[in-house]
Chain A
Amino acid sequence: MPDGSLLVQMLIGALLGLSVYLPLAAGQLSLATPGFMTVGGYVAALLSTRVAALGGAEPLYPLPWLLLELVLAAVIALALALVVGLPVLRLRGIYLAIATIALNEILRVLLLNSSWTGGAVGIFAIPQPFGDPLGYLAALLLLLLLAGAACQVLAGHPLGRAMAAVRDDELAASCSGVDSFRVKLLAFGASAVLAALTGVLAAHFFNTWNARQGSFDASITTLAFVVFGGSRLWLGPVLGGLVLTALPELLRPVGDLRLVVFGAVILLGPLLFPQGVVTPALLQRLPLPAGWRRRLLP
């Protein structure tokens, strides 16, 4: 088995890829996935380090508290997504992209300037709910399986079709009975929740957390996951997240070129491979059992 912690990071990448994919499947570009992940991470970091009653005697942080963090992070992220989405998603076009950039920046400024969140240095010594990377691996894999299963159900569900319809032509979708505002809001909310849940686990895993997790670089990286993997099928961003997270670690010598490569993926991907790597056509060609193929294709 390769480095366990690399696998954990790859799974985090896959989950973030799915978080960017969800709004994109409804035609909305959200750059706030790292922002919501930051929020989730701070919920975990603050709760586990600042609430004194916790994590005293036991060597491991108790799992019920981890669950509480997950619930709390999901609720807060959802509320934040509503605050941003309600004014913005009634408008058509590129407003969500701009508003999510604004959200990231406001979050960053507030977190950097609040002593309560540790200012620029962030929060250290976040307690560990699991003794080794295997625990994180299991927890993240479970989350990924749940999220993937949800996306899979969505593909054959009226809501999933409505998302695709809004992506293809929002006006025609509205005139065909699709409440496009609701569809976009649901997709954006789901994206926020997934990113926040990932952030909770990531904060514990990294043991330290700060506002840099939500930087513009991070937005670019997560977007590259989806552009590379493709946004037509949910497997695409998962693959994109896994591969592109592993890539810089495997190709250490690339070093400074990492972001140039990601930039090039984002720049050239839509031009050369408009549908990304994982496309319905590719699944048709792969030697998969027929049942699998039918299930994976919408």
Chain B
Amino acid sequence: MNIAQQIYRIFAGRILASIGFAVLIIVVLAAVFAPLLAPFDPLDIDPISRLQEPSLEHLFGTDQFGRDTYSRAIYGARMAVIIGAGSVAFALLTGGLIGMLSAYFSRLGSFLMRGVDVMMAFPALLLALVLMTLLERSVVNTIIVIGIVYAATTARILFGMTLKLKGGVFIDAAICSGAGHASILFRHILPNLLSPLLVQATFIFAFAQLQAAALDFLGLGLPPEVPSWGNMLAESRIYITRASWLLIFPGMLIIFSVFSMNLVGDALRDTMDPRFKDDIAGV
């Protein structure tokens, strides 16, 4: 089955999920082609035309420095995708490895998983806040911090699943044919985990954006000059009565992209792995 057919199978008959998928594609396209789509430089300051209402020239209006909100929103999509994809990659790589190795080598696991338990004891945002206060504000650090938060949940999920798979007879059969640890872990166990991993990735992608927006808003996320939806909200919140468009547009963008991602995640979960429905209930 090729990818187009797979996608059709997932979204056929699911209207909401299809809309979500479409929104997602738009966000990704906006992120990739931001320099072409944005009419202005997102950092270009123009004090004369500041706090202008949405117009044909400035679709989403301008902010307190006269920067074009529409252009900033498009570049914000780029940051959203970078943060989302980065956090997913970080969380799945570290969390996935920790979970799989912990389940496979039980001694190592009894040690590592206690660490994971400690991480899980903190509320996600609190943990991210604590880590962010220790680090400099930058794109990479934001990705790492959000990645760490979700690595713990990923580790927990993969730990359980690997434990279950490890006891399977086909693993014994693999040992019998002379397979070593690496081959068992990565050739026999990992492929069985791909669909839950993919579903997990969609949820992390969505939650990472929320988390990043929250950090930005509290002034602990991306550096203030970076045009991200969270930063846009944070900077212009004092103008809410004078120039509400400054908050409405980035706010709506966050809501729609996160909601879309969740819809896509739900659809993926339902089609790809109904068996694991209970295991991945919410991150």
Q: Are A and B genuine complex partners?
A: no
